[in-house]
Chain A
């Protein structure tokens, strides 16, 4: 059983729309949750972190965490072509390691 699962892509959204990315995890003791953005051919970049239930907003990005449902999501509002990338969900599985999802590729069409 995969520890972190993300909704399958690719996800295509029109410019200006909201992109919604979902992630579920299996380890109930996980405390830290992250979203990374990876442009094609580049390394992953940390864009959001969330540690407690609820919403966390940073610019056009909103992360949502529900520990009871073991669910974390990322909303991208007013999507721009520069948001076209693969988004990786990551969850800590112990004091040192993160478990990464396979990623969801987002394409924002003009």
Chain B
């Protein structure tokens, strides 16, 4: 069966510091991978998605970036965090013909 991991689970970072969040998926090959952000009390905002190694599509212009160095690894980064980057970051994967996505446990980021 497939499993998705995210780390860290929680993170408190000062404004202007760098960020690196990691997501890995087990039990599937060549999945589509997604990064979402959910601000407090808000809906899901798609940030990036990837359909293969090195292929990244950006949905929202911002100070975040994403990379996919391996088939089942997806990384979200920032060089300098803003207060507005605080939120719940969710990684998801999909490989089925019906487009269903499965979410990881998430990383709660607080920028202070």
Partner-B contacts on A (CB < 8 A)? 31-32, 34, 36, 42-46, 49, 51, 88, 90, 92, 95-98, 100-103
Contact = CB atoms under 8 A, between A and B. Distances in A.
Interface residues of B, number: 20
Contact of A32 (B42, B46, B98, B105): B98
A44 B103 contact: yes
A43 B89 CA distance: 9
Contact of B46 (A31, A34, A97, A103): A97
B99 A95 contact: yes
Given A43-B104, A43-B106, A103 B43 contact: yes
B44 A51 contact: no
A49 B99 CA distance: 10
Contacts of A32: 98-100
